[in-house]
Amino acid sequence: MLSTIGAWREIIGLLSSKDRAKEVREYHQALAVNALRSEGWFDLMRIPQTVQDIMDHFGYTDFTYLMRFLDAFVLDEILVRENETYRTNGLIGEFPVNPPNEFGTGIVQIHTDAAAAIPNRLKGIYTTFSDEMNTFNWDDALQLRMYEKIRRAAFRYTDALKRSGNFLDIGCGNGIETAAIWGYFYKKGVFDSDRYVKIYALEFDENLLQIAKEEFVISAARLLDVDRSVIEALEEHHPIFVQGTAEELPFEDEFFDMVYTSQVIHWCDAKRATQDIMRVLKSGGLFFGTEAFSPFLDSYIELFIQLNEGAYGAIKKEDFFQWVTEAGATSAKSVTPAGVFKVLKS
């Protein structure tokens, strides 16, 4: 119970407000509408068009992805669906783009660039975390306080900091999270004691992994407000950074005592990733983190996520619990809209 309260305390004020959720949705909606308006969607749809007409006109190849935009626009009464055709609901002007206050410049630029990539995605061309300015912007965005808050919530919800053994941070990005987790254990005095904790950090994107690896000392020193020499002196305890995917973890069965992911599984083939995480987890091990389970992940954000090849999108909590249970979990729980979760393996 106390752990649940602790998790909520970190999250309150971050994601629970209805106004904030509306603000986030309207922001992503405006970006999507403006991108497809520039593409000529709403000029074409002044006259009712079938899906096939739209695909042929713009050279689109991804029917499913197109349908999801059409459904979202119909739901928001931007388009009208009649007799299997789509037409505009009046004149569609440029939507005002108002980024939510908690969004920094990095994440705003990521979303701006992502919106511009929607037409290509409809033609089957995906984006990556390293496209154009994405490495710079993701590195910046991952410093956001909201990521720190949900990470703290995940740790408060579990007894991870009391556990020992091999720890895996999946989707470590630029390593700021890995450095923060390493710092949590450092503050507990783990690296000066007989307790054994070895952190492994996994990232698929080469550019972000390079930042994580080469800037670990800088990041940890900054987060802990200590001189870099303090971190350098603990080199034997530094994390091991590994390139790989969550779907095919490059580790042997039951190697880890703890596995952590935060807002990562929706970027992967969610079922395969969940199953492989359970494979590398020891019996009695803890799998925990955060995931914006459906319906808390806004449908427009989900469409932006799916610009990346292989990204699953919003995961239903029930599906997630079923996958982990099938893979050997004895207990699976989740709290808060940020989807703070913990799974124990038998």
Contacting positions for another protein (CB under 8 A): 105-106, 109, 130, 132-133, 135-136, 139-140, 207, 210-211, 214-215
Least CB distance from residue 73 to another protein, whole Å? Answer: 29
Least CB distance from residue 106 to another protein, whole Å? Answer: 7
Least CB distance from residue 138 to another protein, whole Å? Answer: 9
* Helical (H) or strand (E) element with 75: helix 63-75
Least CB distance from residue 140 to another protein, whole Å? Answer: 5
Omega prior to 96 cis, within 30 of 0 = no
Least CB distance from residue 130 to another protein, whole Å? Answer: 7
* Helical (H) or strand (E) element with 22: helix 18-39
User: 102 or 215: whose CB is closer to another protein?
Assistant: 215
Question: Strand pairing partners for 316?
Answer: 294
User: 214 or 227: whose CB is closer to another protein?
Assistant: 214
Which amino acid, one-letter code, is at 114?
A
Q: Which among 14, 27, 218 has a CA at the least distance from the CA of 107?
A: 27
- C-alpha 338/C-alpha 297 separation (Å) is 9
User: 139 or 169: whose CB is closer to another protein?
Assistant: 139
In the numeric block, the tokens 């994601």 are attached to 15
User: 130 or 325: whose CB is closer to another protein?
Assistant: 130
| H, E, C per residue of 298-326 | CHHHHHHHCCECCCCCCCEHHHHHHHHHH
Least CB distance from residue 103 to another protein, whole Å? Answer: 13
User: 106 or 285: whose CB is closer to another protein?
Assistant: 106
Least CB distance from residue 242 to another protein, whole Å? Answer: 18
- The beta-carbon contacts of 247-251 under 8 Å, at least 24 apart in sequence, are 247/272, 247/273, 247/276, 248/276, 249/168, 249/170, 249/202, 249/276, 249/277, 249/279, 249/280, 250/202, 251/168, 251/200, 251/280
User: 143 or 308: whose CB is closer to another protein?
Assistant: 143
User: 133 or 234: whose CB is closer to another protein?
Assistant: 133
Which amino acid, one-letter code, is at 292?
A
110-140: burial string, b at 16+ Cβ within 10 Å, e else: bbbbbbebbbebbeeeebebebeebbebbbb
Least CB distance from residue 210 to another protein, whole Å? Answer: 6
User: 6 or 106: whose CB is closer to another protein?
Assistant: 106
